[in-house]
Chains A and B, each alone.
Chain A
Amino acid sequence: MLDKIKHIRKMNMNPILKKELRLGSRSIRIPLAVMFYDIVLAAIAVINIAVVSMGNRMAEDINFSGYLSVFQVIGWTQLGITMLIVPILTAGSIAGEREKQTLEIMLTTPKKPITIICGKLLASLSNYLIFVISSIPIMAIAFVLGGMNWFALLGYIVMVIVLAVYLGSIGVFCSSVFKKTIISIVMSFLLEGLILSIPFCIFFGVIIVVELVAEIYNDAMLNTAAAWWDPNFGILPLILTVHPLTGFFDYMMRVMNLTSISEILKSANCFGKIMPILANAWIPLNIICSGGISYFFLRMAAKSLNPLKKGKKKKIAAQNRYMQAQQKKPAGVPPQEQAQLYQPQQPPANGQATQPPVPDMNGITERLTQPDLPARQEQKESQ
């Protein structure tokens, strides 16, 4: 029974993921990087604990929730590192395969481009996951010392993985669009920065514009409304729902018992009763949005890998039908192209002009027995 399950699971595993895991297990690069990463995180944690303990000693009173800041510091550090390493891990995935010239061969197999893309993304994320999992013990210091629960940690990991999938999709997308690994890495950082900053730009842009307008008209009501935390403005943070970082911020703020963005949303007095519900479901909503955007990027990546486009197929079919209709004309090439096409092949005046250059399958074409066709002459002249 167990054997059977194992067998089925083996069968269903993405072959590219399997291959990557196999190859990855041979390389020393990832373990080294993880070790370095954990040393850095541990150092940050130790410094943080030392600072908090010093504060406690001076206050002559133990404040356990102070140790929560260990979680916070590690959490934010990890976020930053995620934004840094995920593009590097993913941006080389398809481009590297292309550089090794193995992508072409993969594309001749029946596996669909989306399978290749997903296999590559999962392989990169599994490497990333090693980083995250290895950091759990360091983050767990926060609850050994108090002020944290397991649930919060689990939530944190979910949030950071959602973000990694999001960034990874952008990386894989760049990797399949841009041919060189280096260019792909640079472009995925650029795209990452752009996409992460656009919602914020809109958000603060609107606020600045409203503020300016209020200034000009000296409108007291608008002026107060311009403060982004103002309940009347509650609709605006909704723009940020599509932004994976805000979900992360919101989560961290909740864990730290700070006023989160969703709290502000809740008190907004627009949309009536829907708003509080939206606000409560903000983090799941955010996850769904991130998932949707990731899916979009993965689809686009698969599309750019596929050498045969659907629309183009229809065009070919239409063209072929057209050519069949034109069969009587020389080889049925669209009229505007005929002249350009057949000039070199037309024999001067031996009555062959109407024959398309279709080779005679049982023998040899005219070219052999009549060696002095214009095409050859041209070539000789050009030498």
Chain B
Amino acid sequence: MVTIHNLTKSYGRFRALNNLNLHIDQGDIFGFVGPNGAGKTTTMRIICGLLQADWGEVYIDGVDALMHNDMIKRKVGYVPDFFGVYDNFKVMEYMEFYGSMYDLNGETLHKTILGLLDLVNLSDKQDAYVDGLSRGMKQRLCVARALIHNPKLLILDEPASGLDPRARFEMKEVLKNLGAMGKTIIISSHILPELGEMCNSIGVMEKGNLVASGKVEEITRRSRHSNPLTIRVLDNKDTAIQILKQTPWVEKISIRDDSIIIAFSGDDEEMSQLLSALVTGGVKVSNFHREPGNLETLFLEITGGAKDAR
């Protein structure tokens, strides 16, 4: 659905995107994460034809987006990281205006709008002024607006930012429904765990490059392997340490109370070998586990340092 090849964009001398490569399959819900200034918004704006790239290729649904940007406008719906609403408009009029921008009108447009408002749970707000909507409602209205021409690709720039947990949940529900409708969706966010729930694939961006990408399960499984292993022993701690020191995959050993925490680079197979070695060595193991994979820690790991993460 979306293929980006060698995309580069500079603001003056500063290179915001640096030969970015990316592929998103049809029907994917793709989470785009990265610290502030990683270039997520820049990438999205280029895809929508709002920004000129320096070079590179962007294909959307087989169309070269950089060369034929007029052809992709009906394929893409964009929700920017700001609202962009007219204060004196009612919800219905706001939607009608954007419908008319796509040459839609009359009864069909009206029906489409009602359907979309229903989708984003704003049916009862049809006649309310946009001005008076809450932040979460405005955000959802913007999603409905971006869907007015039934685009194949929906791009959402930080749709959950500034929303309270409830509004965030509602937004998530909307996106889930859209995913079920078979739309390809790109979502950018700083909040990685949440993306993990919504998306089926994610890409981590840093300094204008994609540093990791893939299916969510794949990435969480990988990240699991870098988490420490906790072993609780009832006695024979010294024997246990002795055994651990002999095991090749154990990299670092630290002791906290009656637990031994080790950095372990082996896979699941090697983990079970270690456990049986401990047990046959006469160590009474009461707890042996690895922290579950966590996108947050993965994110910090990839982007290197907690300071950049938020």
Give residues in A with beta carbon < 8 Å to B. 7, 10-11, 15, 18-19, 22-23, 26-27, 100-102, 104-112, 307-309, 312-313, 315-317, 319-320, 323, 331-333, 341, 345, 356-365, 367-368, 371, 375-376, 379-380, 383
A-B contact pairs, 12 of them (CB 8 A): A11-B105, A19-B100, A23-B88, A108-B49, A108-B76, A308-B66, A312-B52, A332-B6, A359-B210, A368-B298, A376-B304, A379-B304
Select one of B89, B101, B210, B308 contacting A23, CB under 8 A: B89
- Cβ-defined contact, B302 with A368, below 8 A: yes
- Cβ-defined contact, A363 with B21, below 8 A: no
B301 within 8 Å of A by Cβ? yes
Name the segment of B113-121, B163-171, B214-222, B286-294 touching the other chain. B214-222
- Cβ-defined contact, B50 with A361, below 8 A: no
Taking CB as reference atom, which chain B residue is nearest A363?
B214
B101 surroundings in chain A (CB, below 8 A): 15, 106, 109-111
A19-B97, A26-B88 are contacts. A359–B19 as well, Cβ < 8 Å? no
Taking CB as reference atom, which chain B residue is nearest A309?
B52
B67 within 8 Å of A by Cβ? yes
Chain A proximity mask over B12-23: 1 for CB below 8 Å, otherwise 0: 000100110111
A108-B73, A364-B219, A383-B307 are contacts. A333–B19 as well, Cβ < 8 Å? yes
Q: How far is the CA of A307 from the CA of B15 in the complex (A)?
A: 18
B175 within 8 Å of A by Cβ? no
Q: How far is the CA of A367 from the CA of B301 in the complex (A)?
A: 9
Q: How far is the CA of A176 from the CA of B19 in the complex (A)?
A: 32
Chain A proximity mask over B46-60: 1 for CB below 8 Å, otherwise 0: 001111111111000
Select one of B49, B57, B97 contacting A307, CB under 8 A: B49
- Cβ-defined contact, B214 with A341, below 8 A: no
User: Which residue, of A101, A308, A383, has the highest number of chain B Cβ atoms within 10 A?
Assistant: A308
- Cβ-defined contact, A10 with B67, below 8 A: no
Q: Total A-B residue pairs with C-beta atoms closer than 8 Å?
A: 144
A109 surroundings in chain B (CB, below 8 A): 73, 98, 101-102
B173 within 8 Å of A by Cβ? no
Chain A proximity mask over B175-211: 1 for CB below 8 Å, otherwise 0: 0000000000000000000000000000100010111
B255 within 8 Å of A by Cβ? no
Taking CB as reference atom, which chain A residue is nearest B222?
A364
- Cβ-defined contact, B212 with A308, below 8 A: no
Taking CB as reference atom, which chain B residue is nearest A357?
B209
B305 within 8 Å of A by Cβ? yes
A101-B80, A323-B6, A379-B305 are contacts. A362–B55 as well, Cβ < 8 Å? no
- Cβ-defined contact, A105 with B78, below 8 A: yes
B93 within 8 Å of A by Cβ? yes
Q: How far is the CA of A345 from the CA of B78 in the complex (A)?
A: 32
A102-B85, A110-B102, A316-B53 are contacts. A367–B19 as well, Cβ < 8 Å? no
- Cβ-defined contact, B80 with A367, below 8 A: no
